[in-house]
Structure 1
Amino acid sequence: MTRLRLRPLISAMLLGSIVLTPPATAQLGLGKLPAQDTAPAMVSPASPRAAVQEFLRHANGGDWEGAASFLAVPPSQRDRAEALARRLKTVIDQRLALDVSTLSPLVSGDTLDGDLNGDRIADLTNARGREEPLRVVRLNGPPVRWVFSQATVNQVDGWFEALGNPWLRERLPRALMSEGPFNVYWWQWIGLAVSIPLLVLIAWVLGAVLRNLLGRVAKRTVTDWDDVLLENLRGPFRLWAAALAGTPLFALLELNPRADAFMGASTRGLALIALFWGLLRLIRIAQSRLQNAAWETGQGAQARTLVPLLGNLLRVTLAVIALLVALAQFGYPVGTLLAGLGIGGIAVALAAQKTVEHLFGSVSLAADKAFRVGDWVRAGTTEGEVQRIGLRSTSFRTIDRTVVRVPNGRLADERIETFGERDRILLRTDVDLTYGTTPEQIQAIRASLEAALRSHEKIWPDTVRVNVAAFTDSAIRLNIVSWFQTTDFNEFLRIRHDMLLQFMRIIRDEGASFAFPSRTVYHVTQPGQPAPPVDG
């Protein structure tokens, strides 16, 4: 039975909303900025920028009388000055993504637009569908100051009536039509709260329908990869469906430009997350398929080494691409960022020198196929079984069952001895016989030892050597060298055990014995000298 998974969807929505939103100043609340200049240039208190900032400061503080002082109110509407200021503030919040820093900081205003006595801030649509400019004009005073023009004030009522949702405005309680946080009406906040579970439901229904349809098609195919693909892409598709349904759903709420831009960024963020989530799932499926195919063709050990490393590289590459796409999608200057990385490349290279060294070390180890997962390796002072080859380090399981992690950059420079690539294993040992052993016995022992070695089913017949190697202080030394055709070290241990016991039997049957470290002392006395005393 298909279950509704809320946590991944909600988490992804929060991630898309918070991380992938453009870095605008207070994306949802420019209308509530304090009356301070954020631009580096000097701002004249008698400039268009300062006038709009003061108007917003008074309006945000609820001082409608002070806000109305920045309106050129006609004499016939003096008694409605505060109401007009309130309505103008609502129009700015609901219809303009106003960036105050773009207004002129000069007393003369913007003199390049051809209007020497006024500055156009934006164009707004009135109740009759006509575009009218929102302007501020200069009053020469004294003192010189800027106010919203009389023509703009005359259009405020029309703009206010054209805000949309007239049916709701006529029927909803006044409390729901008042502005809440981020200049969003309370009824719109309620709509947003309802939209989230509705999006989850839509995504679940679309996912279930599409899964049912595609599942029927997949059952008719002879392969199972499409079934696996369908199962793993269920989550990314639901998230994509939620993002797709979110755009028209949020459009019904007729949010103000800041809130609408925020929700648009959120839905695009969800779509991007769904896309790259699906690509990550595809990489995992391909990795699993490659490993299974390698096992079937007898290349399982190599697959355990190369496929995870390739998968990690693809994931890192995908993460970098996803980051760049997200930055470009939401207005970040990717070109400037890349140029900055080029300028600061030396500092970045110095800071990440070891990380880059280990990364290229892992690539060189994989390219050279120095060892594979499961091999027994001696690298420098480290010896153990290769457990994992990562992008930064390689993990070894030592004979003490501890795990040692060696950075790949250092490992690539070490002398690496791989026992897993042996085609046979060497048996080399010395047998010490006493000096009482006759040459005939030594010859018979040598022949019997060589015959015992050659009779073993695992012996490498090309090289079997049994020879007198040296006369030591206390023994006649026989050197034995042979190879056994096995790559399993545990099997070799059993073979060596059996052969050494057979060597003991041969030496015993030939009437000889093993020598052990000893020393013989000869004491010679001169004629006429008394013999040395004997204890006991």
Structure 2
Amino acid sequence: MRTPLFRLTPWVLTALVAAIALPVITLPAAAQLGLGKKSPPADSSPAVSTASPRAAVRDFLRLADAGDWSGAADYLAVPAADQGRSAVLARRLKSVLDQRLALDLNSLSPLVVGDTTDGDLNGDRVGVIMGANGHEEAVRLVRVSGVPTRWVFSSATVSNIDAWFEDLGAPWVRERVPPSLLREGPLNVYWWQWIGIGVALPVLVLAAWLLGAFLRQVLVRITSRTVSTWDEQLLEHLRGPFRLWAAAVVAEPLLSVLNLNARVATFLNAFTRGMVLIALFWAILQVIRIVQSRLENAAWETGQGAQARTLVPLLGNFLRVAVTVIALLVALAQFGYPVGTLLAGLGIGGIAVALAAQKTVEHLFGSVSLAADKVLRVGDWVKAGTTEGAVERIGLRSTSIRTIDRTVVRVPNGRLADDRIETFGERDRMLLRTDLDLTYETSREDLVQIRNEVEALLRAHPKVWPDVVRVNITAFTDSAIRMNVVAWFQTTDHNEFLRIRHDLFLEFLRVLEDHGSSFAFPSRTIYHVQQQDPGPHGPGFPPQLVE
């Protein structure tokens, strides 16, 4: 029986990636993927100087978000000839930064002198933008001497603002869409790009379906020429992962046509890579499922089905847990989380984790111990402590036992591994042991005949184990002569044993009836003595006997 907990669907894995991605797109410090209309929040750390590159960019973005373009223009080294366009240049620079840079304030120097480790003592680089000529062009800040010291965008950066701005949002679109669609919408994405995303989604689904169907037909023709059937089964189960992979392959070039801004494009690229990872781990889970099914079927063919139903699902669950953990770590790394630091932190806090998960680990190792020692198997009738029933499932944490009342008792594996387990399924033969209590009216000759005939009945049975057949008088009780009957029968089927015992008991009754004997039952004789009196018959008559 497979555990529903580990039947992961692509929707579960997609939700996992989305849950990881949500903090990424809302926290600007996470992998430089902060999305949103608002710029990164101001850094309130006291170590950040108000005359540093970080403070300059922070103030520029704050003024731009407030619509104070004249104030924002103070942070631009605008040539004298363009002083009249300073506000326009500030507005365009803000659009360029939103569209072309995944800006992270924490990457900028908080010091007055800026970042001097790169050898540039008078300037700091904010980022790099790909120019129309295909070359990288730096966005730089320069320090302006004076009191107080100020940092502004360099004149070279300002001279490139118009060219960068004209290249935003696919220039070929500007000549073909209304001006109202060239305005920025949510997440700094132009409205025409939002419309393009809405059109791209159904196109993406259709293209992924066509690509997946085409490649699958090719693989079907290849697998149909093989002798084995496992490849057709594998191809059928990998249909979902294959389509998801095809969607991820088609998504990246399709969305690149929209020329989205750097933050959104970076996130979508990470998300498409996440879809590839989902398809990969989904495929691995499907392969585990197929291999588990084939192992169980092969075990049934070789007569080891019970053992396979115990070990194979347990091994499959372990593999699913391992794949899920690896998928989680890979997804965290994909979205910029420091997996190495996380693992190191788990190592440092291993004692606390071990204490908190002590019972869980105990039950996990208990399941390993039960499987390794082959203490019980699925389908066995067992008695563990006060619980007796058939084993239905051996999971990673507990074992399910269905009792004779048809209720299910789940016993933790840690406790089960330490408990006394009586397994009825491992019996090689079954014991018949009973007492025949005969009445005292049975003669000695009849007792001998009864004993011999009962033993003969047992030895004549085809299922009897001939090494031990005992029929003996063992006691004289208050009301019976006790004859003890002991025999083994070579069967492990409890229902068959019940039929054998039933037939033999009827034969025992027949033997007793043939010899005029019967089963004794508790009885008591009471003597009632009356006081003697002369009475009508005179003295000397015996007392009345009442039975």
Q: Is the 8 A contact 2:51 2:151 kept in 1?
A: yes
State the distance in 1 between where 2:311 and 2:441 align: 60
Aligned partner letter, 1:336: T
Aligned partner letter, 1:19: I
**1:191 partnered with 2:192:** no
State the distance in 2 between where 1:129 and 1:200 align: 32
Q: How does 1:113-128 map to 2 (within 5 A)?
A: 113-127=118-132
1:3 corresponding residue in structure 2: none
| Deviation larger for 77-86 or 450-459 | 450-459
Q: Deviation string for 1:218-252 (max 9, x for gaps)?
A: 33322221211111111111111111122222222
Partner-residue secondary structure (3-state), 2:110: coil
State the distance in 2 between where 1:79 and 1:60 align: 21
Shift of 1:419: 0.8
Q: In structure 2, do the counterparts of structure 1 residues 114 and 467 end up closer, same or farther at CA, with 3 Å as the change threshold? A: same
2:521 pairs with 516, 520, 526, which one?
A: 516
Shift of 1:126: 4.4
Q: Is the 8 A contact 2:40 2:105 kept in 1?
A: no
Give me the identity figure in percent: 66
2:294 pairs with 279, 282, 289, which one?
A: 289
**1:36 partnered with 2:37:** no
Aligned partner letter, 2:500: I
| Deviation larger for 406-415 or 517-526 | 517-526
Aligned partner letter, 1:217: I
Q: Is the 8 A contact 1:361 1:411 kept in 2?
A: yes
Q: Deviation string for 1:237-294 (max 9, x for gaps)?
A: 1111111122222222222221111011111100000001111111111111111111
Q: How does 1:163-242 map to 2 (within 5 A)?
A: 163=168, 165-242=170-247
Q: In structure 2, do the counterparts of structure 1 residues 112 and 513 end up closer, same or farther at CA, with 3 Å as the change threshold? A: closer
Q: Count the aligned residue pairs.
A: 528
Aligned partner letter, 2:387: T
Aligned partner letter, 2:38: K
1:408 corresponding residue in structure 2: 413
Shift of 1:474: 1.5
Shift of 1:141: 4.4
TM-score (norm 1): 0.92
2:309 pairs with 304, 314, 320, which one?
A: 304
Q: In structure 2, do the counterparts of structure 1 residues 486 and 248 end up closer, same or farther at CA, with 3 Å as the change threshold? A: same
Q: Deviation string for 1:288-325 (max 9, x for gaps)?
A: 11111111111111111111111111111111122222
Partner-residue secondary structure (3-state), 1:175: helix
State the distance in 1 between where 2:437 and 2:10 align: 76
2:159 pairs with 154, 157, 165, which one?
A: 154
Q: In structure 2, do the counterparts of structure 1 residues 222 and 140 end up closer, same or farther at CA, with 3 Å as the change threshold? A: closer
Shift of 1:440: 1.4
Shift of 1:215: 1.9
Q: In structure 2, do the counterparts of structure 1 residues 130 and 200 end up closer, same or farther at CA, with 3 Å as the change threshold? A: closer
Q: Is the 8 A contact 1:20 1:269 kept in 2?
A: no
State the distance in 1 between where 2:173 and 2:443 align: 119
Q: Is the 8 A contact 2:306 2:378 kept in 1?
A: yes
State the distance in 2 between where 1:306 and 1:111 align: 62
2:387 pairs with 377, 382, 388, which one?
A: 382
State the distance in 1 between where 2:247 and 2:359 align: 42
State the distance in 1 between where 2:36 and 2:103 align: 7
State the distance in 2 between where 1:475 and 1:10 align: 74
Shift of 1:383: 0.2
**1:261 partnered with 2:280:** no
Q: In structure 2, do the counterparts of structure 1 residues 209 and 112 end up closer, same or farther at CA, with 3 Å as the change threshold? A: closer
Q: In structure 2, do the counterparts of structure 1 residues 204 and 12 end up closer, same or farther at CA, with 3 Å as the change threshold? A: farther
1:92 corresponding residue in structure 2: 97
1:279 corresponding residue in structure 2: 284
Aligned partner letter, 2:301: E
Q: Deviation string for 1:79-105 (max 9, x for gaps)?
A: 211110011111111221111112222
Q: In structure 2, do the counterparts of structure 1 residues 78 and 398 end up closer, same or farther at CA, with 3 Å as the change threshold? A: same
Q: Deviation string for 1:360-404 (max 9, x for gaps)?
A: 111111111112111111111110011111111111111111111
The runs of 5 or more residues in structure 2 that have no matched partner are: 1-8, 533-538
Shift of 1:65: 2.1
Q: In structure 2, do the counterparts of structure 1 residues 327 and 464 end up closer, same or farther at CA, with 3 Å as the change threshold? A: same
2:453 pairs with 409, 427, 448, which one?
A: 448
Q: In structure 2, do the counterparts of structure 1 residues 126 and 200 end up closer, same or farther at CA, with 3 Å as the change threshold? A: closer
State the distance in 2 between where 1:127 and 1:456 align: 98
Q: Deviation string for 1:96-151 (max 9, x for gaps)?
A: 11111122222333344444443232343445555543222334444443222333
**1:133 partnered with 2:134:** no
The runs of 5 or more residues in structure 1 that have no matched partner are: 1-7
Q: In structure 2, do the counterparts of structure 1 residues 267 and 123 end up closer, same or farther at CA, with 3 Å as the change threshold? A: closer
Q: Is the 8 A contact 2:367 2:396 kept in 1?
A: yes
State the distance in 1 between where 2:285 and 2:149 align: 62
